[in-house]
Amino acid sequence: MSITMEPNLQLNAVVENLNPFDNALSQLDVAVSHLGLDPNIHEILKYPQSQMTVHFPVKMDSEIIRVYTGYRVQHNRSRGPCKGGIRFSPNVDEDEVKALAMLMTWKCALLNVPFGGAKGAVTCDPRTLSLSETERLTRRFTSEIINFIGPEVDIPAPDMGTNAQTMAWMMDTYSMGKGRTVPACVTGKPVSIGGSEGRSDATGRGIVFVTREALKEWKMDITDITVAVQGFGNVGGVAARIFHEMGAKVVAVSDAVNGIYDPKGLDIPSLIACANRDGSLTNSRTGEPIGSKELLELKVDVLVPAAIENQITESNAHTIKARVVVEGANGPTTPGADQILRENDVFLIPDILANGGGVVVSYFEWVQDLQFFFWSEQQVNSKMEDIMTNAYREVRATALHEGVNMRLAAYLIAVRRVSDATSLRGIYP
Ligand code: GLU
């Protein structure tokens, strides 16, 4: 007897898995099997080494008390202390933080900065919090995890929904708890309290550096290209600005609510002024409106998804017409979509390479704080440029040598480095 599935069950059977931790594990699986890695090492790498969940009260401006949930996950510390951002976002959960912590391990290994990966988050909507509520939430969260982090242990940084001010409050709370000023306990701080020159632009600038390297494949220069950027925060907004400054034609940008398109090229400085003034692109007077999903489908040379995870999925990957996709966000492309892009000859620069400029300059900031000796912006930018360009070339050479795509090539280098560190150190006791 044959059993016929109901049509909706058949549909369910092919629904794409968007769980970020499952997707991170499946990317690891592919790298491990290509490397022929020891299954014992694979087993170690699948799990975060430690994680902490906290539930903590915050007094709101109305005097009401709300309980928030926060996480800090340390994926792997075989190459050094853990490193990674803290995000404030309404839907963030444990699996997202675990996935992002694992990505940080690969990112730090690929860029060869001496850190393992971590990530933290508080489930909250920062747009609905006042400045003083945000400060109380940040300080209380920091004090909840104070013994889990530290300059030699785990060093947070900004991520989605957090910024230099958040890091200043974290540094102050940590320092108050320890009874001395500890600038190296977080990176991405304002320059006046031990932050690094060039840190706030670093992720966006790094995106432009790796794009410039990739364009050499087609004998193209930044001044020849059209660009669309999804996300107009510290990653997308800065990347759009630097592309524009370097002569590219940025034809579309979008923030969480609005997108703007002008095939003749947008006036990026005026859009940045508008976003700084109003907190959104709503009142900008240039270009025509475009949805942030439609933006992804534009026929441009370079598409930079720099907003959130799971933007290019199996359902829209076949609509991508860009020649190059540069992953500004962490995990914007699902593994299924990755394969579709590959079949359609879309060249993808993976997140752990493309957006690594931020953690590279975070490393410089940490070094400067530990030495109490500070560098000029020009020194920071040129050292970061070397690291990003060399990492790009290494990944490209591996991709060509192994006959694999850029994501797998980046994973091969990164996973191999972490696996070597684990084997060399051996298993304690
Ligand atoms: N949050 C950033 C990232 O995802 C920066 C992390 C850091 O600088 O530690 O790479």
Q: What is the CATH number of the domain that holds 57?
A: 3.40.50.10860
SS3 71: strand
Give the number of the atom of ligand 1 that is nearest the alpha carbon of residue 188: 8
Distance 132 CA to ligand 1 centre (A): 25
Q: Which of 292, 319, 354 is the last residue of a domain?
A: 354
Euclidean distance between CA atoms 275 and 189, whole angstroms: 22
From the CA of 159, how far away is ligand 1's center (Å)? Answer: 6
CA atoms 333, 236, 169, 384: torsion sign: positive
Residue ending a domain, choose from 190, 225, 247: 190
The count of domains in the chain is 2
Specify whether the CB–CB gap between 304 and 323 falls below 8 A.
no
Q: Please provide the DSSP assignment of 83-137 as one string.
A: EEEEEEETT--HHHHHHHHHHHHHHHHHTT-S-EEEEEEEES-GGGS-HHHHHHH
Report the C-alpha gap between 244 and 250 in whole angstroms: 6
Residue 405's Cβ-count burial label (10 Å; 0-12, 13-18, 19+) is middle
Query: Which residues lie with the beta carbon below 6 Å from any ligand 1 atom?
Result: 83-85, 157, 159, 187, 330, 355, 358-359, 362
CA-based end-to-end distance of the chain: 58
What is the residue with the minimal CA distance to atom 8 of ligand 1?
359
Q: Within 10 Å of residue 54's Cβ, how many Cβ atoms?
A: 16
- Nearest atom in ligand 1 to the alpha carbon of residue 359 is 8
Per-10-residue mean pLDDT for the chain, 429 residues long?
45 78 97 98 98 98 98 98 98 98 98 98 98 98 98 98 98 98 98 98 98 97 97 97 98 94 96 92 90 97 97 97 98 96 98 98 98 98 98 98 98 98 97
Q: What is the pTM of this model?
A: 0.95
Please say if 178 is a catalytic residue: no
Give pLDDT, residue 8: 46
Contact between residue 103 and residue 330 where contact means Cβ atoms under 8 Å apart? yes
- Kindly provide the b/e burial profile for residues 292-322, where b requires at least 16 CB atoms within 10 angstroms of the residue's own CB: bebbbbbebbbbbbbbbbbbbbbeebeebeb
Q: What is the pLDDT of residue 283?
A: 87
Please tell me the predicted confidence (pLDDT) of residue 249.
98
Rounded to 10°, the helix 335-343/20-35 angle is 60
Domain encompassing residue 224: 202-354
Check whether residue 168 and residue 211 sit in a common domain: no
My answer on whether 211 and 339 are in the same domain is yes
In a shared domain, residues 207 and 336 = yes
Q: Which of 327, 354, 381 is the last residue of a domain?
A: 354
- Find all residues with CB under 8 Å of 373, minimum gap 6, and list them: none
User: By the 8 A CB rule, do 291 and 316 touch?
Assistant: no
Mutate to test the pocket of ligand 1, among 82, 159, 234 (most ligand atoms within 8 A of CB): 159
